[in-house]
Amino acid sequence: MLKNITPTTTQAWQKLQAHYNQIQAQQLRDLFAQDTERFQKLSLQFEDFLYDLSKNRITEETLDLLVTLAEETALPGAIESMFAGEKINVTENRAVLHTALRNFTDTELLLEGENILKDVRAVQQQMKTFCDNIHNGTLKGYTGKAFRHVVNIGIGGSHLGPQMVCEALKSYQQPNLEVHFISNVDGTDAAEVLKKLDPETTLFIIASKTFTTKETITNAITARSWFLQQAKNQAHVSKHFVALSTNTAEVEKFGIAPENIFQFWDWVGGRFSLWSAIGLSIACALGYNRFEELLRGAESMDKHFRKTPLRQNIPVLMALLSIWYTNFFNCQTHAILPYDQYMRLLPEFLQQLLMESNGKSTDRNGQPVTYQTQPVVWGAAGTNSQHSFFQLIHQGTILIPCDFIAAAKTNNPIGEHQALLMSNYFAQTEALMKGKNEAEVREELEKKNMAANELESLLPHKLFEGNKPTTSIMMRQLTPYNLGSLLAMYEHKTFVQGVILNIYSFDQWGVELGKQLATSIEQELLRDKKAAHDASTTNLIQYYQQNSN
């Protein structure tokens, strides 16, 4: 089980504090100049990936101390507890076994006496048959036409992962089948998707772990009405609606036939669920075999995470870097910058993964934490982001560690695009690291033959402090396998941060209050049931009611 160790009470934490005082005074460009082996010492290769940590504000000693912190907070035991299926999601009394969904070994994995791998395989077989039947035309709509569109209706973990993966792997998509997503309870989302579709050739996947999420159920009801407007007969619903859920009773109440339910289990957290039946839209889009490649890439990262010593363990080091910046450099945000248009939804996916998991302020002893937990995760694809917020990363007043992610070989070799994209990828981390000092700016301006007073007044604005930390993650090519590996790396990073920071990463009680209040205000807006609010909320509701018709 997870131990309750306050990280700030460890010896390693105290040592890191002293070490930080040395490191924060050092310039990255000097560290590179002093040590020609710095890249070799601070980068790791794993299968098709190069993880370059050398442009971070660290030395080998930093990593040694951080790894000691991981040891002192009992990380190795926690890793084993997770893989073994112990109920480490204590506040929900559940195991955490998304790794079982991509475990292709022949062993058994017993949970309360049941071999769960058997259940996993059975659902995978059901998904495979379903996808094959869609693609070979065996599954047909109510008028006998083949399906051309699949709509995933879900939100949060039942949406972000599938949508991001479908987008990231678009170049592997099967022909003749388009996948769409509806998530927002704003009717605009459903309206804009449905207006492009024909009920005869559209299959709806209702994805909800609990099958009680208001947004998803509302959108599902809207989709069913839209379908029945044309199909007329209620019996046709069973041909066009399937559900992915752990809550069979609720699904049946909705009217979906038991054979159209793809199950998963309470030991799969919503934001870790794209590997489960929740990935059905991915499997439909890519074909089941490619979905399996995604799982196999994740499995390989799982093995690396479980077996590799902490000092060479990629997710562990990535998590430790986050703790280093957040708690010692006081960084409040972390940017995710995919230099790959296909991966542009990755920041949104990682926002839920990291911020919903580790956005906590109570430790595992039930005490308020006295240190920082999860920084804000944000970002957007490069190079577009260079033309919007990069200014702040280069010259703003806050320090923002960034992950720069790219694939060396493009899936769209057109002209010189890839070389141009990658030259920006390399240039940005180099510029952020090196900066430009006064002598360099002066030399540049002097070449322009400008008046001395003009030069002096311009000079301070053109200085780049540099010393901005970045991690470069480069893969050979964006494939289902490699994407699986990358996503599993971020999942394990999330877990490691939670373990070391002594918080529970697999619950999300913080989202409940807003849901409860919305449910009661809904009664006010729809059924005119008045309720007491603060003055601001009362007046906002009044303004809405006066203007919504």
Cβ-contact 216, 236 below 8 angstroms: no
Cβ-contact 323, 70 below 8 angstroms: no
Peptide bond into 383 cis (omega under 30): yes
Segment near ligand G6P (CB under 6 A), from 46-54, 202-210, 378-386, 486-494?
A: 202-210
Task: Specify the residue, 154 or 469, whose C-beta has the smaller distance to ligand G6P.
Answer: 154
Task: Specify the residue, 157 or 469, whose C-beta has the smaller distance to ligand G6P.
Answer: 157
Shortest Å, Cβ 271 to ligand G6P: 5
Segment near ligand G6P (CB under 6 A), from 152-160, 342-350, 364-372, 472-480?
A: 152-160
Task: Specify the residue, 264 or 324, whose C-beta has the smaller distance to ligand G6P.
Answer: 264
Distance set, CA 122 to CA 126, 242, 261, 376 (Å): 6, 17, 13, 38
Q: Could you confirm whether 446 is annotated as catalytic?
A: no
Shortest Å, Cβ 511 to ligand G6P: 4
Q: Could you confirm whether 492 is annotated as catalytic?
A: no
Read off the amino acid at residue 360. K
Question: Which residue among 10, 124, 216, 494 contacts ligand G6P (CB under 6 A)?
Answer: 216
Separation CA 302–CA 309 (nearest Å): 13
**Both tokens assigned to 481:** 């396998």
Shortest Å, Cβ 89 to ligand G6P: 12
- 405: enclosing H helix or E strand: strand 402-409
Using CB under 6 A as the binding rule, whether residue 270 contacts ligand G6P is answered as yes
Segment near ligand G6P (CB under 6 A), from 75-83, 203-211, 218-226, 482-490?
A: 203-211
Q: Could you confirm whether 356 is annotated as catalytic?
A: yes
Using CB under 6 A as the binding rule, whether residue 271 contacts ligand G6P is answered as yes
* Residue window 156-175: x/- pattern of binding to ligand G6P, with contact defined by CB under 6 A: xxx-----------------
**492-511 positions binding ligand G6P, by CB under 6 A:** 508, 511
**Both tokens assigned to 422:** 């990658």
Separation CA 531–CA 541 (nearest Å): 11
- 3: enclosing H helix or E strand: none
Residues across the chain: 549
- The CA dihedral of 406, 408, 414, 417, to the nearest 10 degrees, is 60
Segment near ligand G6P (CB under 6 A), from 111-119, 136-144, 155-163, 288-296?
A: 155-163
Shortest Å, Cβ 208 to ligand G6P: 3
* Residue window 81-110: x/- pattern of binding to ligand G6P, with contact defined by CB under 6 A: ------------------------------
Question: Angle at CA 350, nearest 5°, toward 348 and 352?
Answer: 80
DSSP-assigned letter for residue 186: S
Return all residues near 370 (Cβ < 8 A) that are at least 6 apart.
6, 8
Other CB atoms closer than 10 Å to residue 104's CB: what's the count?
13
Cβ-contact 291, 279 below 8 angstroms: yes
Q: Beta strand pairing status for 261-263 and 202-207? A: unpaired
Segment near ligand G6P (CB under 6 A), from 108-116, 207-215, 385-393, 482-490?
A: 207-215
Question: Which residue among 126, 173, 174, 210 contacts ligand G6P (CB under 6 A)?
Answer: 210
Shortest Å, Cβ 215 to ligand G6P: 8
Using CB under 6 A as the binding rule, whether residue 213 contacts ligand G6P is answered as yes
Shortest Å, Cβ 341 to ligand G6P: 26
**337-356 positions binding ligand G6P, by CB under 6 A:** 356
Size of the site for ligand G6P (CB under 6 A): 14
Task: Specify the residue, 182 or 323, whose C-beta has the smaller distance to ligand G6P.
Answer: 182
Q: Which of 430, 515, 522, 529 is catalytic?
A: 515
Using CB under 6 A as the binding rule, whether residue 358 contacts ligand G6P is answered as no
Cβ-contact 206, 254 below 8 angstroms: yes
Q: Which residues pair with 474 in a beta bridge?
A: 50, 406
Segment near ligand G6P (CB under 6 A), from 65-73, 149-157, 180-188, 285-293?
A: 149-157
Task: Specify the residue, 156 or 382, whose C-beta has the smaller distance to ligand G6P.
Answer: 156
Task: Specify the residue, 157 or 279, whose C-beta has the smaller distance to ligand G6P.
Answer: 157
Q: Give the DSSP per-residue string, 87-143.
A: --BGGGTB---GGGGG--SSS--EETTEEHHHHHHHHHHHHHHHHHHHHTT-SB-TT
Task: Specify the residue, 3 or 214, whose C-beta has the smaller distance to ligand G6P.
Answer: 214
Q: Looking at 411-461, list the stretches that DSSP marks H as alpha helix, in order from N- to C-terminal side.
A: 417-434, 438-446, 452-458
- 334: enclosing H helix or E strand: strand 333-338
Question: Which residue among 209, 224, 236, 434 contacts ligand G6P (CB under 6 A)?
Answer: 209
Task: Specify the residue, 42 or 268, whose C-beta has the smaller distance to ligand G6P.
Answer: 268
Q: Give the DSSP per-residue string, 377-396.
A: EE---TTGGGGTTHHHHHHS
Q: With CA atoms as reference, report the closest residue to 336 among 355, 310, 308.
A: 355
Q: Which of 307, 387, 447, 530 is catalytic?
A: 387
* Residue window 299-338: x/- pattern of binding to ligand G6P, with contact defined by CB under 6 A: ----------------------------------------
User: To which residue do tokens 């890191």 refer?
Assistant: 16
Q: Which of 135, 356, 434, 493 is catalytic?
A: 356
DSSP three-state, residue 463:
coil
Separation CA 125–CA 338 (nearest Å): 33
DSSP three-state, residue 468:
coil
Shortest Å, Cβ 7 to ligand G6P: 25
Shortest Å, Cβ 402 to ligand G6P: 26
Task: Specify the residue, 99 or 216, whose C-beta has the smaller distance to ligand G6P.
Answer: 216
Q: Which residues are catalytic?
A: 356, 387, 515
Using CB under 6 A as the criterion, which residues of the chain lie in contact with ligand G6P when the complex forms? 155-158, 208-210, 213, 216, 270-271, 356, 508, 511
